[in-house]
Structure 1
Amino acid sequence: MSFALGQRWISDTESDLGLGTVVALEGRMVTLLFPATGDNRLFSINEAPLTRVIFNKGDEITAAEGWKMVVTDLEENDGLVTYFGTHSEDGQEAFIREPMLDHQIRFNKPQDRLFAGQIDRMEQFVTRFLCQQQRHAMQKNPLRALQGPRAGLIPHQLYIANEVGRRHAPRVLLADEVGLGKTIEAGHILHQQLLSGRAERVLIIVPETLQHQWLVEMLRRFNLRFALFDEERCVEALADCDNPFESEQLVICSLDLLRKKRRFDQALEAPWDLMVVDEAHHLEWSEDTPSRAYQVVEGLAEQVPGVLLLTATPDQLGHQSHFARLRLLDPDRFYDYDAFLKEEQAYQSVAQAAEGLLEQRALNNEELDALNALLASDTLASQLEAIQAGDTATRDKLLRDLLDRHGTGRMLFRNTRAGVSGFTERRLNRHPVALPKQYATAIKVNNMFGTTAVPAAQKVINNLYPEKLYQQFEGESGNGSWWQFDPRIDWLMAFLKAHRSKKVLVIASQAATALQLEEALRTREGIAASVFHEGMSILERDKAAAYFAQMEGGAQVLICSEIGSEGRNFQFAQDLVMFDLPQNPDLLEQRIGRLDRIGQTETVQIHVPYIEDSAQQQLLEWFDRGMDAFEHNCPGGHLIHSEFGDEVIEVLAGNNTDLEGLIARTAERAAEHKAAMEAGRDRLLEINSNGGKAADALVAALAEADDDTDFISFMLKLWDVIGVHQDDRGENAVVLRPTEQMLFPSYPGLPEDGVSVTFDRETALSRDDFQFITPAHPMVAAGIDLVTSSDTGCTGVSLLKNKALPAGTLFLELIYIAEAVAPAEVQLGRFLPPTPIRLLMDKSGKDLGQNIDFDAFNRQLTPLNRHTGSKLVSASQGVLHPLIAAAEKQVAEQLASLASDAERAMERELGAELERLTALKQVNPNIRDTELDALREQMNLARSHLARAQIQLDAIRLIVVTPE
């Protein structure tokens, strides 16, 4: 290296220092001052990681005073360069001596960095191009949002999510039965709305007891970080802004919080794009006296564009309340209850006609009249004849037309277990034990020495959970000795020892009971058990569930308090032990639902150890013989409980001995409810809700996407280039850890102590402590952004060993990005996402990129060190500048073609949807004007932004042919 005072150099290792000036030469050392930052650096002359900055003709340079000049000529004297050109401000001829160049000059353009000798490693150049390709593929993929969540590929869930998630400001009622996944459907819709830019601010309103469940589900399944708002959080948030609800984008709060006028007013003033209301059947309404809860939701629903209401029991408070919830979604459409009833009755014949089409039977006159009234078509008769002849394609089209026009079908989605396949059998196993004398004594003493009359509800608790009563008499000194004599413990230990290979879920009502059960198993038999209760943090619960899910070396048993029956799924296990029974049939179903879910492959074995001739047996008999709640789902359980709950308490308290009469009356009512529900099944609504063949096609497409090994290879390569340590730990998992050698100071989403990730959906479903990596995971976008938003890999120099080409032959590889920037809600990424365009120019200016594949070409190249590469670039500048100019002309033509194709695709896709909805609105008033207006606006904005699409050089690589 030859240095002279006043020369300008840049640091290869600290390019952010800007342009440096040689200020001292002493022996073998050179000192540079970097005026932009005020730093001095001392280097060895022979080994300095520095690159001399010399601009060329045609470059625009900036003087220290701030004016600019395009270089027309340059000359070098005594080691310093003087640049000549025209002054940007007065148009006069001017010159800038090298020491007077602007100190702030950065070499951000790829061609500038290449000519300045800032050459990246070959693998970084390749990775940058792969990142651009992957980002393009991700944004073009319509299924990315559906693929991302940690959820099974359940057809009806995916169909609803795909149908609703693509709408502008969706307003729907999700009313699937318990266990069919309403929360997952809502999460899918939220994820899709947020990822597409249709929504940015979301408010979830839930009962207070479900807040943490929603918080965990949104984070664990969908990587959505919601903030939990209670009164304390609202007070804290006031330090940041006047309205606490504007301090976060994604908020979960309880309905009780919003009952307070001040908090309701603040939530009302905050701008929301989407609102979710869980347990919507609790919103009581009458025309004259709507409840406060209903008024709160109604007020917000009038302001928030998108609304999702969730309920497993839409008719729990009566059909009028069901109408009231639809009224929340569209008050203009559902304005009169009587009119709603008449319309529903009219659609019953349509549903019956749909049933006939499915069964391919001859339709009666009433059904034909209904079809003619709804589908008024000259071809209907011929279509029906074709269907009778076995034409399934015509039948499916006719059904789709009916679905489009069906009453609330576009606003209401309800799946039932009767209409969804994938459930296995449930079997009740009774395990009676004798009442131990310790419990008998405790009960006797409690009855003898009770100073006041014990309420029936308290008697029930004493009778159902005698261990609690015993501990009250025992006091702290006993230290939970009840488990040393309780025969249910003996049975449980014997069962676990006899089934060592089985995973067993045990549920008890209280956290204290769960903890003492774990102690009993550990101390008496050394059985490996994990505990799961409400006193644990989210991370502790994840670890407990993961320990249970681990097939080898994991816990045989997971012992849960009642919270274990909410929000977690363990369908990899088949044995459920109910150490005690809940009094509410909905809680009973929630417990069973942890194992009895879609995805369960074996019969669910329900084990109930109970004390004979006690309240425990009475409650078991009522659930089993009265409601058939163990071996079959009981969707009307809440109605039966509300009707007979008081009688059940009297029987369990010992105040009423007519158990058999209660069971008989309960069974009769349960049969009536079941018959009414079956008679009221709307088959057309169910078809619309489960998706049929369209849902199956979604599952197949997503399963194929899950098997994309190219994506896995890309991510492993990306992490390797960034410098993330990867440790393959088996079980389809990789442990990622940050290192000091990473290219960037931090990696968003990668904690300091590392994280376990998997690309396998089944593994992710069974291991809550693993991150599930798909193209929609935040760590994927973060890794791509780290590379593409920096200079990493935007230059390169490589050698091509090829005997067929003369040594010294040059090729210039240029990667351009075509992009039209638009607000997220325009969703321009569907039509023209940032698109990489690759040109491979030979010395004559011809593009060979169309004929030479990048991967195949790259495999023939070998890397070159930065020093040698810099010399090759300097020697080739006379050839490279004209090639870059020629490439810019060629790529401009490709941009015009891309923008034109994107506009045609947009017009075709959005135009077809607009035409369909406009026609549909004539027969189905569920189509809102705002939905049509939003589509028109989206099309107008898309045209406008596509017309301003631009091209930018993203990376450049010089390839030089060398002899073998």
Structure 2
Amino acid sequence: MSFALGQRWISDAESDLGLGTVVAIEGRMVSVLFPATGDNRLFAREDAPLTRVIFNQGDTITSHEGWTLEVESIHENDGLVSYEGLRSDTNEVGILRETMLDHQIRFNKPQDRLFAGQIDRMEYFVTRFLSQRQRFAMQKNPLRALQGPRAGLIPHQLYIANEVGNRHAPRVLLADEVGLGKTIEAGHIIHQQLLSGKAERILILVPETLQHQWLVEMLRRFNLRFSLFDEERCIEALADCDNPFETEQLVICSLDLLRKKRRYEQAVEAPWDLLVVDEAHHLEWSEDAPSRAYQVVEGLAEEIPGVLLLTATPDQLGHQSHFARLRLLDPDRFYDYNAFLEEEQSYQRVAAAADALLAERSLSGEEQTALTELLSESDISNELAHIQADDSDARSAACQALVKELLDRHGTGRVLFRNTRSGVSGFCGRELNTYPMPMPKQYATAMRVNAMLGTSKNQDVKLMNQLYPENLYQEFEGESGNASWWQFDPRVNWMMEFLKSHRSKKVLVIASKAHTALQLEEALRTREGILASVFHEGMSILERDKAAAFFAQQEGGAQVLICSEIGSEGRNFQFAHHLIMFDLPMNPDLLEQRIGRLDRIGQTQTVQIHVPVLEDTAQQPLLRWYHDGMNAFTDTCPSGHLLHAEFGERIRTVLAGEAEEGELDAIIEETAARNAEHTAKAEAGRDKLLEINSNGGAAADKLVAELEQADDDTDFISFMLKLWDVIGVSQEDKGENAVVLKPTEHMLFPSYPGLSEEGASVTFDRGTALSREDFQFMTPAHPLVSSGIDLITSGDTGSTSVALLKNKALPAGTMFLEMIFIVEALAPAEVQMGRFLPPTTVRVLMDKTGKDLAPNVTFDSFNRQLMPVNRHTASKLVNASQSVLHPLLKQGDDVAMAQRDAIVAQAKAEMEQQLGGELARLQALKAVNPNIRDSELDAIREQISMVSAHLERAQLELDAVRFIVVTPE
């Protein structure tokens, strides 16, 4: 490289420094000052990453004084260049020396960078084009938000998420039974609302005990980083803002926090797009005296456009409270309880009519009359005729058409979603195995001594001593005790023998207390060397994740995971089939929660429940009450909370040893009778039409099929591996369908947003992601994908390239210019422009005559024939061909502009078809279903207007350019 004082150069690595000036040349080093930023850089003369800036005839250049000059001729003297041409300020011929050029000049347009010699490696150009293409596919894909979460492809969950998540400001009640995944559904909806731009600020209200569960679920499954707010966090946030709730976009807090007047007022004042309330059945309401919790949610729901209420038991506090929750969603629609009861009578007529259609049988005259009255706005005579005919296919189609019309008219079908286990497939059943064992004499002695000391007069204390005798024994051992109870407790001996005889099986063990879980792990490790993981509430979220991952690991992982009661909340281990209950909880809901860790959709085998019980303790009668009274082990018990409320006090008396003989049998008999009543009532009250609307039927199955196909997209995997390779991320094959990513010192960029210094283990396989919670699940919706694409496309990387083409059919020296344009309409996120016109690539391939070859020569096939060329040679080729390239750039721009107009027109037609069709459908539905809110219709009209306006302003911009020269073989 030949340097002279005053020459202008640009840094290849730091083009944003602007135009540099050579200020010193000493020996083998050259010093360059960049006046625009005040930076000074020292380079080795031989291999300095610098490009000499020499403009060409026809270019317009700017002086440091601000006036411009159109270059007519170029003169060089002692290594310095002067430009002669017409000045813009005086309209006279003038001379501008290169030392007087504007320091702020940046070569960020592809054509400027190409002519300035800033030429990138060919693989960067290819990666840039593929990144633009991938970004387009991601934004146009309507299922991206559903594909992204680490969750199984469960039909009813996906249907609800798709149906609700695509609405403007959805206001619905999610009321699926336990184990059907309401949290997953809510997470899907939240994820979809955020990804589409329909929502930006979200508040989740949960009971205090579930805060961490939600925090972990949102992060682990949906890559959503919520902030946990408590009183301490609110006080800290006051240092940044008067309203702590305005310091974060995504917030989780307990309902108890907002019972405080000041915190409630701050939450209401903060702008939110979506409110999510878990365990909504605890919101007690009466017309005269609504609870404080209800009033808090009501105040928020009045201000926040979108509301999701979650409850597994919508009628737990009575039917009136169920109405009150619907009232939170739409107070204008559900304004009077008596009017609601009258309306429900008509729902039953709709459901009865649907039963006949679902059976796809001939209809009685009375049923035909009922259908004609219910669907009076439509002429259904043809459908009724087909149903009465012998053609089974025609009958089936007619029945389905009428069911769809009934669904549209169903009273709460648009605001209430409820799936039941009986209506959803995918459960493998349960089997109870009990192991009665004699009570150790050490426990009997401890109980006898405790009774003599008179320290257990309180019923609760007596009950705990009876249920958990190991705790009482440890009290007598004192703090210096070494937890010797597990050396003689027969349950521990039995468990060790069970584990040794089931070495190849994963086993989940649950105990009530964290210290019991820790001591059991010690017993297994020290006595038999059994590999076990512990999981309890005293561990951090990261520690729990590691413990769960160690248990999930098939080879070399823990055989056993020992959980405490609270520590197991919210975790699912359906890859295991054996559950050991070391003790029993006092609440049937907790019992169901324990079994629910394994008995979930996705479980592939019958869940084996093992319960070792000590004779002559409260464990035996409690086991009988659960099993004989509620059938709670082998089946779900939705009425468990009702039975516990009705018989809880009596059973506690029995367990504490204070009841009369025969009382247990009486309680079990009465419990079984009441359970049968509740079950029969629930079955009679099942709204089958609502369940059809909630599980999605064929539409849900279609969603699953489409997502399964998307999961098998090997092109996406290839793209991501190539992208990481180009960025400079280390990739190590970890086996088990996993790759370990780590940042390196040689990356193209200082950092990779979302990739920590420690790196990350990722997998593209959904099954692996579900079983290994320490692996991140890579889909087009993962933040590492979008941030990686942004790294490439937001800067200059790959925007220029020069390549050689070896082709015997073409004369040597033949030139092509490949231009990649982007058509883009910038708009706020809520406009959802990506749905109709995401940044769209327009590829133009010009030969030297100005003909566009792109329609006949694909990017991939053309790229395979090209060879890279070193930068020095590339710069010479460009400089020698400038007279050809300048007009080709202009012609290419004209070709791309014509395509831009066609792309915008197509986007507008697509928008009118989709949004116009959606508006027309909802307007028609509103005539027969009052649950269509005016705000939904207004939002669609507003979106149509905004999309149209932004489409008119869509811009065309050259994003990348590649110069190709044919070379002889």
Give the distance between the partners of 1:766 and 1:705, measured in 2 at CA. 20
Amino acid aligned to 1:700? A
Matches within 5 A, 1:142-157: 142-157=142-157
Whether 2:462 is the aligned partner of 1:443: answer no
The answer to whether the Cα contact below 8 Å between 2:808 and 2:968 also exists between their aligned partners in 1 is: yes
Whether 2:840 is the aligned partner of 1:835: answer yes
The answer to whether the Cα contact below 8 Å between 2:207 and 2:279 also exists between their aligned partners in 1 is: yes
Instruction: Name the structure 2 match of 1:60.
Output: 60
Whether 2:163 is the aligned partner of 1:160: answer no
Instruction: Name the structure 2 match of 1:237.
Output: 237
Matches within 5 A, 1:806-955: 806-955=811-960
Determine which of 453, 458, 471 is the counterpart of 1:455: 458
Q: Can you list the C-alpha shifts for 1:511-550, whole angstroms capped at 9, x where unaligned?
A: 0000000000001111000000001111110110010001
Instruction: Name the structure 2 match of 1:671.
Output: 676
Determine which of 598, 605, 622 is the counterpart of 2:601: 598
- Equivalent position SS for 2:732: strand
Give the distance between the partners of 2:164 and 2:39, measured in 1 at CA. 57
Cα separation, partners in 2 of 1:405 and 1:71, compared to 1, 3 Å: farther
**Percent identical across equivalent pairs?**
74
Whether 2:543 is the aligned partner of 1:545: answer no
Determine which of 627, 630, 645 is the counterpart of 2:630: 627
Whether 2:397 is the aligned partner of 1:393: answer yes
Cα separation, partners in 2 of 1:732 and 1:932, compared to 1, 3 Å: same
Matches within 5 A, 1:345-364: 345-364=345-364
Q: Can you list the C-alpha shifts for 1:590-639, whole angstroms capped at 9, x where unaligned?
A: 11011111111111000000012321010000000000000001111111
CA shift at 1:376, angstroms?
Answer: 1.6
Identify which range, 267-276 or 391-400, moves more after superposition: 391-400
The answer to whether the Cα contact below 8 Å between 2:6 and 2:22 also exists between their aligned partners in 1 is: yes
- Equivalent position SS for 2:13: coil
TM-score scaled by length of structure 2: 0.98
Instruction: Name the structure 1 match of 2:427.
Output: 423
Give the distance between the partners of 1:539 and 1:831, measured in 2 at CA. 40
Q: Can you list the C-alpha shifts for 1:718-767, whole angstroms capped at 9, x where unaligned?
A: 00000000000100000001100000111111111111000000000001
Instruction: Name the structure 2 match of 1:312.
Output: 312
Give the distance between the partners of 1:45 and 1:613, measured in 2 at CA. 91
Amino acid aligned to 1:326? L
CA shift at 1:24, angstroms?
Answer: 4.0
Give the distance between the partners of 2:288 and 2:24, measured in 1 at CA. 89
Amino acid aligned to 2:516? T
Give the distance between the partners of 2:803 and 2:752, measured in 1 at CA. 29
The answer to whether the Cα contact below 8 Å between 2:361 and 2:387 also exists between their aligned partners in 1 is: no
Give the distance between the partners of 2:712 and 2:565, measured in 1 at CA. 37
Amino acid aligned to 1:512? H
Whether 2:80 is the aligned partner of 1:80: answer yes
The answer to whether the Cα contact below 8 Å between 2:273 and 2:306 also exists between their aligned partners in 1 is: yes
- Equivalent position SS for 2:813: coil
Give the distance between the partners of 1:416 and 1:99, measured in 2 at CA. 78
- Equivalent position SS for 1:559: strand
Give the distance between the partners of 1:367 and 1:261, measured in 2 at CA. 55
Q: Can you list the C-alpha shifts for 1:870-923, whole angstroms capped at 9, x where unaligned?
A: 111111111000000001111111111000000000000000000010111111
The answer to whether the Cα contact below 8 Å between 1:173 and 1:310 also exists between their aligned partners in 2 is: yes
- Equivalent position SS for 1:32: strand
Matches within 5 A, 1:200-215: 200-215=200-215
CA shift at 1:374, angstroms?
Answer: 2.8
CA shift at 1:396, angstroms?
Answer: 2.1
Give the distance between the partners of 1:56 and 1:193, measured in 2 at CA. 51
Instruction: Name the structure 2 match of 1:476.
Output: 479
Instruction: Name the structure 1 match of 2:713.
Output: 708
CA shift at 1:148, angstroms?
Answer: 0.2
The answer to whether the Cα contact below 8 Å between 1:565 and 1:587 also exists between their aligned partners in 2 is: no
CA shift at 1:68, angstroms?
Answer: 3.1
Give the distance between the partners of 1:29 and 1:552, measured in 2 at CA. 57
Give the distance between the partners of 1:414 and 1:911, measured in 2 at CA. 30
Matches within 5 A, 1:324-335: 324-335=324-335
Give the distance between the partners of 1:424 and 1:960, measured in 2 at CA. 65
CA shift at 1:45, angstroms?
Answer: 4.4
CA shift at 1:95, angstroms?
Answer: 3.6
Instruction: Name the structure 1 match of 2:621.
Output: 618
Give the distance between the partners of 1:916 and 1:446, measured in 2 at CA. 72
Instruction: Name the structure 2 match of 1:496.
Output: 499
CA shift at 1:256, angstroms?
Answer: 0.3
Amino acid aligned to 1:710? D
Give the distance between the partners of 1:842 and 1:905, measured in 2 at CA. 33
Instruction: Name the structure 2 match of 1:403.
Output: 407
Amino acid aligned to 1:185? E
CA shift at 1:378, angstroms?
Answer: 5.4
Amino acid aligned to 1:136? F
Cα separation, partners in 2 of 1:795 and 1:681, compared to 1, 3 Å: same
Give the distance between the partners of 1:126 and 1:839, measured in 2 at CA. 15
The answer to whether the Cα contact below 8 Å between 1:914 and 1:935 also exists between their aligned partners in 2 is: yes
The answer to whether the Cα contact below 8 Å between 2:837 and 2:904 also exists between their aligned partners in 1 is: yes
Amino acid aligned to 2:521? E
Structure 2: runs of 5 or more not aligned? none
Q: Can you list the C-alpha shifts for 1:661-717, whole angstroms capped at 9, x where unaligned?
A: 000000000000000000000010000000000000000000000000000000000
Instruction: Name the structure 2 match of 1:487.
Output: 490
The answer to whether the Cα contact below 8 Å between 1:758 and 1:770 also exists between their aligned partners in 2 is: yes
Amino acid aligned to 1:400? K
Give the distance between the partners of 2:245 and 2:290, measured in 1 at CA. 26
Give the distance between the partners of 1:699 and 1:238, measured in 2 at CA. 46
Matches within 5 A, 1:48-197: 48-89=48-89, 91-197=91-197
Matches within 5 A, 1:237-276: 237-276=237-276
Cα separation, partners in 2 of 1:91 and 1:915, compared to 1, 3 Å: farther
Query: Pairwise CA RMSD of aligned residues?
Result: 1.4
- Equivalent position SS for 1:839: strand
- Equivalent position SS for 1:798: strand
The answer to whether the Cα contact below 8 Å between 1:507 and 1:564 also exists between their aligned partners in 2 is: no
Give the distance between the partners of 2:72 and 2:191, measured in 1 at CA. 55
Instruction: Name the structure 1 match of 2:732.
Output: 727
The answer to whether the Cα contact below 8 Å between 2:148 and 2:779 also exists between their aligned partners in 1 is: yes
Give the distance between the partners of 1:42 and 1:649, measured in 2 at CA. 83
The answer to whether the Cα contact below 8 Å between 1:110 and 1:955 also exists between their aligned partners in 2 is: yes
- Equivalent position SS for 2:881: helix
Give the distance between the partners of 2:408 and 2:786, measured in 1 at CA. 37
Give the distance between the partners of 1:370 and 1:151, measured in 2 at CA. 42
The answer to whether the Cα contact below 8 Å between 1:268 and 1:299 also exists between their aligned partners in 2 is: yes
Give the distance between the partners of 1:28 and 1:483, measured in 2 at CA. 77
CA shift at 1:62, angstroms?
Answer: 1.8
Amino acid aligned to 1:942? V
Give the distance between the partners of 1:735 and 1:2, measured in 2 at CA. 45
Cα separation, partners in 2 of 1:25 and 1:279, compared to 1, 3 Å: closer
TM-score scaled by length of structure 1: 0.98
- Equivalent position SS for 2:805: strand
Instruction: Name the structure 2 match of 1:580.
Output: 583
Determine which of 781, 786, 810 is the counterpart of 1:776: 781
Structure 1: runs of 5 or more not aligned? none
- Equivalent position SS for 1:316: coil
Whether 2:795 is the aligned partner of 1:790: answer yes
Amino acid aligned to 1:833? P
**What is the number of equivalent residue pairs in this alignment?**
963
